[in-house]
Chains A and B, each alone.
Chain A
């Protein structure tokens, strides 16, 4: 007789929505319009990404986003060759952390490059049809 040792269950995690919030909504609307913006702190004058309603440095309330030049610099990257279970991916993908001059933080995103390198200048490749998501940028490519 088969022993009942465990039984499968599915967590209801697909039934969530997230609230982007006042600053997040503005940021996502800008992405939809094909523009890259950063949060601006009126107290310390820093621009930062990803944008939040509060400055991580001094707790000041953030109300304003400012458009930034969409040319970033690869700070670090990895070429993902295998999935979490160790299976080879059909196509290797380059994931990078990208910084923008004069902006604290930055963006984690894919880079399309055969030979990625630290210090490489990259710009977003926007999708034609945008929905207000970080993936409205399909990937970054060498600038």
Chain B
């Protein structure tokens, strides 16, 4: 039994989607995904829906109850997951593999522009006893602690971060939904926020919704002639206490990658993977995640980056989309943003500078203060 992607749809990817509520954004993204899946009818053709969301992001309690109808799932099996959208892909993967479901729709949405006190909401995710009373004025400072630990240990310099930022903006300039892409953006002239992080190292937030239709190999040809297969999906949470997590390396991303590679029978990722879409909501995170995903030896991503290995047209392009630095961070939609871009590249809908489009690896991290990563392996 193989699980494939039959359709994708997205809506928004604007700093502020003024005219539509998150429910309407879900509806719009779903409409597009169902069109992409050959005009699928969610009321007849879909066996179950999975929605990735968080109450605090939406300002609504028990927001699960809001999930079904905007995607056509009222009175059907709807599951909600408080996690990144790729975790929903993992759920759908298991449900279809079980043989009990043939078509499962995955959804995630985010409207950060609705949140007036976003820093407080982010800090609300920290430990109420050991961290919250510190009243940290900027949640990005927690990422800065990781950045310094990583850079100190592996000799990563600000010039290396500059290379990541420059690549993201140049690649993003070719991605129509990368609203923050600004080729020529200079990192060194952007202000220090929490050193070593400058403003240019930190991705902005963005409103977006993404819907993905997954189907079993038994029925997928009813919806698409060009399935992209999900051959691995794995996730890992390191620990709930930041103080006890590894400050210098994302162990959770390594764990998730190894799980997904084992499922997809990939033994040498740096050779077998054609391109990657990874979390780069902070510039240094792209280097870390490249290493965690075994696309470069630990500590070596900075040098390979400088050599252009991960640039568009390079040996193993990373974030042809520009990633979160160019598109923005749509909370739990982020993993689906990375995935939907990769699917478009693999199907040839987007003409990207990549030689090998047959195998892609997708990664998402839930941002500070989380230690959760998801990795998905795609094949054409």
Contact in complex: A78, B197 (CB < 8 Å): yes
Contact in complex: A81, B195 (CB < 8 Å): yes
Check B184 for interface membership: any CB of A closer than 8 A: no
The residues of B that contact A108 with a CB separation of less than 8 Å are 130-131, 134, 142, 145, 242-243
Contact in complex: A76, B152 (CB < 8 Å): yes
* Residue ID in chain B nearest A83 by CB atoms: B137
The residues of A that contact B130 with a CB separation of less than 8 Å are 49-50, 107-108, 134
The residues of B that contact A134 with a CB separation of less than 8 Å are 129-131, 133-134
Chain A, range 3-59, C-beta contacts under 8 Å to B = 5-6, 8-9, 11, 13, 18, 20, 24, 27-28, 48-50, 52, 56
Binds A, one of B6-14, B186-194, B307-315: B186-194
Partner among B56, B116, B124, B195 whose Cβ is within 8 Å of the Cβ of A78: B195
* Residue among A27, A82, A89, A93 facing the most chain B CB atoms (10 A cut-off): A82
Contact in complex: B140, A84 (CB < 8 Å): yes
Partner among A9, A89, A118 whose Cβ is within 8 Å of the Cβ of B137: A89
Chain A, range 61-94, C-beta contacts under 8 Å to B = 75-86, 89, 93
Check B356 for interface membership: any CB of A closer than 8 A: no
Partner among B119, B239, B247 whose Cβ is within 8 Å of the Cβ of A75: B247
Partner among A9, A95, A107 whose Cβ is within 8 Å of the Cβ of B141: A95
Chain B, range 1-47, C-beta contacts under 8 Å to A = 18-19
A108 to B147, CA, bound (A): 15
Number of interface residues of A (CB under 8 A): 44
A75 to B153, CA, bound (A): 11
Contact in complex: B241, A56 (CB < 8 Å): yes
Nearest-Cβ distance from residue A103 to partner chain B, whole angstroms:
10
Contact in complex: B127, A86 (CB < 8 Å): no
Contact in complex: B19, A11 (CB < 8 Å): no
Contact in complex: A76, B149 (CB < 8 Å): yes
Check B59 for interface membership: any CB of A closer than 8 A: yes
Contact in complex: A84, B138 (CB < 8 Å): yes
From known contacts A13-B124, A105-B241, infer whether A83 and B129 are also in contact, taking CB-CB under 8 Å.
Answer: no
Contact in complex: A78, B243 (CB < 8 Å): no
Check B244 for interface membership: any CB of A closer than 8 A: yes
Residue-wise, chain B 59-87 has the 8 Å CB interface mask toward A (1 for contact) of 10000000000000000000000000000
Number of interface residues of B (CB under 8 A): 45
Check B277 for interface membership: any CB of A closer than 8 A: no
Nearest-Cβ distance from residue A82 to partner chain B, whole angstroms:
5
The residues of A that contact B131 with a CB separation of less than 8 Å are 108, 134
Contact in complex: A6, B145 (CB < 8 Å): no
* Residue ID in chain B nearest A48 by CB atoms: B244
Check A96 for interface membership: any CB of B closer than 8 A: yes
Check A124 for interface membership: any CB of B closer than 8 A: no
Check B146 for interface membership: any CB of A closer than 8 A: yes
Check A104 for interface membership: any CB of B closer than 8 A: yes
Contact in complex: A79, B194 (CB < 8 Å): yes
A50 to B204, CA, bound (A): 31
* Residue ID in chain B nearest A79 by CB atoms: B195
Contact in complex: B129, A20 (CB < 8 Å): yes
The residues of A that contact B241 with a CB separation of less than 8 Å are 50, 52, 56, 105
* Residue ID in chain A nearest B202 by CB atoms: A86
Residue-wise, chain B 105-140 has the 8 Å CB interface mask toward A (1 for contact) of 000000000101011001010011111011011111
From known contacts A20-B129, A134-B133, infer whether A84 and B118 are also in contact, taking CB-CB under 8 Å.
Answer: yes
A interface with B by C-beta (< 8 Å):
5-6, 8-9, 11, 13, 18, 20, 24, 27-28, 48-50, 52, 56, 75-86, 89, 93, 95-97, 104-110, 118, 133-135
Interface pairs A-B: 3 shortest CB-CB: A78-B144, A84-B119, A50-B130
Q: Can you list 5 contacts pairing A with B, beta carbon distance less than 8 Å?
A: A9-B59, A76-B146, A85-B119, A95-B136, A95-B194
B interface with A by C-beta (< 8 Å):
18-19, 56, 59, 114, 116, 118-119, 122, 124, 127-131, 133-134, 136-142, 144-149, 152, 191-197, 199, 239, 241-244, 247
